[in-house]
Amino acid sequence: MIVLHRLGHNAEQFHLNPDLILTVEATPDTVVTLTTGAKIVVVESPVRVAEEVRAWRSEILKDALGRRRDEPPARGSAMARVVSSRLGDRPSLTALDGNEPRTTENPPTSVDHPER
């Protein structure tokens, strides 16, 4: 969420999900139009709103890309439950990274891949 301020006597602070922003216009006040059709007049300039959105998105991407792929999700989290339910009897990630011998139950045949 990004923090913006409604234009008014008190410049009321509020949090906005940037995914809901459709347009930001200066008419001369900054009007943020949401995907829901709602319009909000804010104190910040359109450039400042765009900077806030950019910073929010880059933080999200940095967090997502910063996690190591072989790092398991936090124990008990929703992601851990999804991963464990999907893995079932499959080998662990360490078996796939080359540290353990890799086995295939049904190797592909020419019938499976006629172009080979």
Residue 88 included in any domain: no
Residue 15 included in any domain: yes
Total number of domains in the chain: 1
Structure tokens of 114?
């006629």
pTM over 0.75: no
Q: Of the candidates 45, 48, 47, 20, which has an alpha carbon nearest to the alpha carbon of residue 34?
A: 20
The per-residue pLDDT for 36 is 96
13-64 pLDDT, tens digit each: 999 999 999 999 998 999 999 999 999 999 999 999 999 999 999 888 887 7
Residue 52 included in any domain: yes
Helix, coil or strand: residue 14:
strand
pLDDT tops 80 at residue 4: yes
Residue 100 included in any domain: no
Burial class (CB within 10 angstroms; exposed 0-12, middle 13-18, buried 19+) of 10: exposed
Residue 42 included in any domain: yes
The per-residue pLDDT for 20 is 96
Residue 12 included in any domain: yes
Q: Which structural domain, as residue segments, surrounds residue 58? A: 2-66
92-102 pLDDT, tens digit each: 555 445 555 55
Residue 75 included in any domain: no
The per-residue pLDDT for 22 is 97
Burial 79-102 (b: 16+ CB within 10 A, else e): eeeeeeeeeeeeeeeeeeeeeeee
Residue 71 included in any domain: no
